[in-house]
Amino acid sequence: MYVSMFEIDLVEILDLNKSMPVGEIETVLDNLSKETYFRFLFEELPKLIDKKDYDGISQRHKTSDDMDKLMDELNTRWPDLHIEFRLQQISSKIKREFIVNYLEEMKKEYEDKSLQTNIGKLITEIKKEQINKSLCYSLKDEIGKKINKINKK
């Protein structure tokens, strides 16, 4: 089954629940969410609305942590911008970047060529627009088995 990045579970695909405590996972997910809103506010939104409107919004929300209030204002004033869809796209991009960076670091940690090959295949699949979900989870399982085997030695 082919899916978009939005449908890939970050915690599950990287087995974060096996390598991080729950609090750390929540911190990572929270930081990725903050990054999504940051990129939206400072990279995407200036392209969507005129400068005067953007300056007013950014001044009000630059130091605020209340993203719901910002999203409500944007959706009310510019419903045709499809803010939720744009946030989903940014979130998927950030998730993809995180997964690829995580796997690249993992690849550096192990010298086993078959493990590196499977990690490389997973990276290649994650970089695609439409991701073969079953292939990803199959590769992830193979990677996990190999890492467990290496760590038991």
pLDDT-derived band at 66, boundaries 50, 70, 90: confident
Over range 11-40, report the average pLDDT.
Answer: 91
**pLDDT above 90 coverage of the chain, percent:** 75
Task: Provide DSSP, 56-86.
Answer: HHHHHHSS---HHHHHHHHHHH-GGG-HHHH
Q: What's the pLDDT at 3?
A: 94
Q: For position 153, what pLDDT does the model report?
A: 67
Question: Residue 53: is its pLDDT beyond 90?
Answer: yes
28-51 confidence digits (pLDDT tens)? 999 999 899 889 988 999 999 999
pLDDT-derived band at 60, boundaries 50, 70, 90: confident
**Paired strand residues for 132:** 2
Residue 2 DSSP code: E
Q: Which helix (H) or strand (E) is 108 found in, with range?
A: helix 83-109
Confidence at 58, pLDDT banded by 50, 70, 90: confident
* Span 91-150, pLDDT tens digits: 999 999 999 999 999 999 999 999 999 999 999 999 999 999 999 999 999 999 999 898
Q: Which of 37, 143, 43, 45 is nearest to 99 (CA)?
A: 143
Chain centre to alpha carbon of residue 86: 14
* pTM, rounded to two decimals: 0.87
pLDDT above 90: residue 22 = no
Per-domain residue ranges for the chain?
Answer: 2-152
